[in-house]
A and B are shown apart, each in its own frame.
Chain A
Amino acid sequence: DIQMTQSPSSLSASVGDRVTITCRASQGVSTYLNWYQQRPGKAPQLLIYVASSLQSGVPSRFSGSGSGTDFTLIISSLQPEDFATYYCQQSYSPPLTFGGGTKVEIK
């Protein structure tokens, strides 16, 4: 199984901050890497797919990069509605594993 490791597991940031979340796969997943945002009590929402493609309707302050085993999600200027938990997920090889999540909290 491919293990997905996110870091950090949580962070505190202020509105306007640049936030970087990393995701490492235990083996190569090419660019079959997706990012999701989950607000409390809500279903997850797709942000980024195939590592760097922005899902329709998602603000451009979100961006993704990487390939192989190392991936990054960047929020260029954190907004109040961005305080949530973020998950990476590989769709390359079953089981289709998720990272453990990164909770972004208000400083």
Chain B
Amino acid sequence: EVQLVESGENLVQPGGSLRLSCTASGFSFSSYAMSWVRQAPGQGLEWVSSINGRGDTTLYADSVKGRITISRDNSANTVSLQMNSLRVEDTAIYYCARGGRFDRFRDWGQGTLVTVSS
């Protein structure tokens, strides 16, 4: 059974930083791209970032480019999102998902709420 479990800080002040992690199990982790998708309260889905299986190609949404870094550790089956210079508008549920470009988000984590507020 595929499982994706997100973890990380939940509350941060504007301008602050936090790191989200997602631990995967149930599939050959290094064979798949991994992505983060977010959903602001009451809003639709927004793709944030993707990383390929080897970890040498990354993609970012313009809204987070320069502020967010995606990385992965294939030995630990984890994908992480380092978020800096956070803004109030980054407040959202962040989902980890298996898949990326030319693929589908075939599995999703339960999501973790990030709140950016003073």
- The residues of A with any CB-CB pair to B shorter than 8 Å are 1, 32, 34, 36, 38, 43-46, 49-50, 55, 87, 89, 91-101
Contacts and interface: CB of A to CB of B under 8 A. Distances in A.
Given A98-B44, A98-B46, A32 B105 contact: no
Interface residues of B, number: 24
> Mostly helix, strand, loop or mixed at chain A's interface?
loop
Contacts of A93: 101
Contacts, number: 64
Interface in B70-104: 95, 99-104
Interface of B: 35, 37, 44-47, 50, 59, 61-62, 95, 99-111
B102 A92 contact: yes
Given A43-B95, A44-B45, A91 B102 contact: yes
Nearest to A45: B108
Contacts of B103: 91
Contacts of A55: 104, 106
Contacts of B105: 34, 36, 44, 46, 89
18 contacts: A1-B62, A36-B105, A44-B37, A44-B45, A46-B105, A55-B106, A87-B44, A89-B104, A91-B101, A91-B102, A94-B101, A95-B47, A95-B61, A96-B35, A98-B44, A98-B45, A100-B44, A101-B44
